[in-house]
Amino acid sequence: MQEELQDEPPKRSKRKEASTIFKISSGNFMEMYDFAVYGFYAAFIAQTFFPSHSDTLAVLKSFLAYGVGFLMRPLGAIFLGAFMDKFGRKKGLLLTLSIMALGTLSIAATPGYEQIGILAPIIVVIGRLLQGFSAGAEVGGASVYLAEVAPKGLKGFYVSWQSGSQQIATVFAGLIGLGIFYLMGDNITSHWGWRIPFFIGVMIIPLILYMRRSLEETPEFASIAHKAPKTLSAMLLSLVQNWKIIILAIMFVMMTTVTFYFITAYTPRFATSALGLNKVDAFTITAIIGLSNLFWLLVSGYLGDKIGRKPIIIVMTILGLITAYPSLTFLTGGDVSFGKVVLVELWLSFIFGAYNGVMVVALSEFVPKEIKALGFSFAYSIAVAIFGGFTPVVSELLIDSTKSAASPAYWLTFAALCSFIASIIVFRKGGIYDKAREKEWNK
């Protein structure tokens, strides 16, 4: 059953459609690239900025700084999301990317703790705060933009490129990591080579800014701009009035964000410290998973346009709920091999990609239209800040406290349970999703 009930946007050439997807998704590429690079080089960043007598404590400090950036996402969602609902998607997406550039540059160029002392970790944390603030509205803004310009019957496929670009970024970051290790070796990489990927990001951002300047505002925003609340306080009031929908939206996102950050940002650390693989194998696995994520995201987004979002979402949350613990138990039991790790990570990748490919567009369809960018961004950011962003820290603590490398499965299972409950409520007959789509139909 087709789920596209809105009026079809003006037809454009295939080339222009592809260009629009590329310009929008490139910002998400950059956001994920920054976060992936930080996760990949967490151990080296810990040595440089967070020295400690314990390697585990140093890495935990590094991941806490990583997680602090996620705590800024809700603030970014509120201010930048409201900005997008008032002044337009295009202006907001240009602003998020500019702030992101400052955060990336601060991490790349800051001297280590040995050179400037306590200022080093302070500057790095500020950089992560800026990255988190900008990311708070980047995903929501990009998803809403793509949903509003998508042709009839292809909304899911269009929006899936938002997440798809993040997987390309993961692969790109992983390949750069492999190249640096092969060319420089572990010693040089640990001292200063890890900074190279950050500087590459700094050089890419101006190009993306230039491309985004040529974007057009979405027709849907132009048609509802006069109906949106005019002040930030009015927008926040609307957010509070729709608190039930926002809470369900947060739960809706939980499985995708926890699974994603486990199989991408945490995989290099998990594979080397808990499973005993070398760094090259860890980066290779991350690149493979990125390609798998991309494939399933696009397939699921397209399939959701044809058969509906609901069946895919319900099935994938059930699979996430019942297979996380058996998968990690199988992985960590007995001898651990490269092939075994890839097999389990590919399974988790399938669950993430197939779920996220339809979850994001479904979320854009049931959040209140007058605060669509704010509502989407806030719910997504809260889920990422509290659950996804701290997945590496929670996983480290679970392994350390239980002495079991399979224990992160508890966290994955909890997230899947929350998303399953939210999905049942959202998609029940005559429920939130049906009412939102009915409003679109009667518009």
Tens-place pLDDT, residues 309-334: 999 999 999 999 999 999 999 988 87
- Residue 162 pLDDT greater than 60, yes or no: yes
Q: 11 pLDDT band (50/70/90 cuts)?
A: low
How far is C-alpha 193 from the geometric centre of its chain's CA atoms?
A: 26
Output b/e per residue, 101-117; b: 16+ Cβ within 10 A: bbbbbbbbebebbeeee
- Residue 386 pLDDT greater than 90, yes or no: no
pTM comes to: 0.82
Count of CB atoms within 10 A of residue 254's CB? 25
CATH topology for the 14-228 domain = Growth Hormone; Chain: A; (1.20.1250)
- Residue 2 pLDDT greater than 50, yes or no: no
**Strand extents, DSSP E, 27-119:** none
Mean local confidence (pLDDT), 170-194: 81
Task: Quote the percentage of the chain above a pLDDT of 70.
Answer: 89
- Residue 226 pLDDT greater than 60, yes or no: no
Q: 378 pLDDT band (50/70/90 cuts)?
A: very high
Rounded CA-CA distance 143/376 in Å is: 9
Q: 416 pLDDT band (50/70/90 cuts)?
A: very high
Which value, in Å, is the radius of gyration of the alpha carbons in the chain? 21
- Residue 411 pLDDT greater than 90, yes or no: yes
Q: What is the pLDDT of residues 114-134, one digit of tens each?
A: 888 888 888 888 888 898 899
The residue ranking higher by pLDDT, 270 or 434, is 434
Element (H, E) at 403: none
- Residue 62 pLDDT greater than 60, yes or no: yes
How high is the pLDDT of residue 334? 76
Supply the mean pLDDT for the chain.
84
> Which amino acid is present at 12?
R
Rounded CA-CA distance 128/77 in Å is: 15
- Residue 399 pLDDT greater than 50, yes or no: yes
Rounded CA-CA distance 42/257 in Å is: 19
Q: What is the pLDDT of residues 244-292, one digit of tens each?
A: 999 999 999 999 999 998 887 677 667 776 667 777 777 788 788 889 9
How high is the pLDDT of residue 9? 54
The residue ranking higher by pLDDT, 42 or 423, is 423
Rounded CA-CA distance 355/359 in Å is: 6
**Domain 231-442 is classified in which CATH homologous superfamily?**
MFS general substrate transporter like domains (1.20.1250.20)
How high is the pLDDT of residue 7? 46
Q: What is the pLDDT of residues 20-45, one digit of tens each?
A: 888 888 888 887 788 778 767 777 78
**Residue 267 to residues 263, 270, 277, 381, 416, Cα–Cα distance (Å):** 5, 5, 11, 22, 19
- Residue 415 pLDDT greater than 60, yes or no: yes
Range list for CATH 1.20.1250.20 in the chain? 14-228, 231-442
How high is the pLDDT of residue 335? 77
Range from 100-104, 296-300, 379-383, 439-443 carrying the lowest mean pLDDT: 439-443
Mean local confidence (pLDDT), 199-225: 83
How high is the pLDDT of residue 117? 87
